Amino acid sequence: MITMAQFSRTWWGQRFIAALEQFTDPARLGRGRSYASGGRILDYTLVKGTVTARVRGSINPYFGVYKEPIYRTSITIKAISAADWTKAIRHIASRADLVTKLLMNEMPDTIEDAFSGLGLHLLPHSESDFVTDCSCPDWADPAYSCS
């Protein structure tokens, strides 16, 4: 089975999606990907660790949906505290391999090691790192995250 993470273009995008795959229904992730590639995301904003988007849903007469609905969905990622960022920056600055890659506008594939050595995670790695919300009908069932 192909996972959503395999569709990402970067290693860190793959890690982000892999974290979502740990607790999200695969069918909903697939639907979300098809919405994104199908131009159904009307707009989105990124403010202080929260991505909010308006998404054009699907017509589905079986469920009584005869007009394309517009849903609002958001994902908030747990932030690293200012004090922990200071520690992380100090640690990263002491590693020439990381600094070199960052100065070349590349995300070092070992950057997560620098954070984990401090007991931190740069990238989300579990359900507790995310807060999700959505106005779609799927959201009525708390066992599932929406598309």
Overall average pLDDT of the 113-134 stretch: 89
Q: What pLDDT, on a 0 to 100 scale, did the predictor assign at position 7? A: 62
In a domain, 44, yes or no: no
Number of domain units in the chain: 1
Domain that holds residue 105: 81-121
- DSSP per-residue string spanning 96-127: HHHHHHHHTT---TTHHHHHHTTT--SS--SG
In a domain, 30, yes or no: no
In a domain, 85, yes or no: yes
In a domain, 109, yes or no: yes
Per-residue confidence at 6, pLDDT binned at 50, 70, 90? Answer: low
Q: What pLDDT, on a 0 to 100 scale, did the predictor assign at position 32? A: 81
Residue whose pair of structure tokens reads 């890659």 in the numeric block? 101
- pTM value is 0.72
Beta-bridge partners for 71? 55
In a domain, 47, yes or no: no
Tens-digit pLDDT profile for residues 32-64:
888 888 889 999 999 999 999 999 988 888 888
In a domain, 114, yes or no: yes
Sign of CA dihedral 37, 50, 20, 6: positive
In a domain, 7, yes or no: no
Tens-digit pLDDT profile for residues 74-115:
999 999 999 999 999 999 999 999 999 999 999 999 999 999
Q: What pLDDT, on a 0 to 100 scale, did the predictor assign at position 15? A: 86
In a domain, 98, yes or no: yes
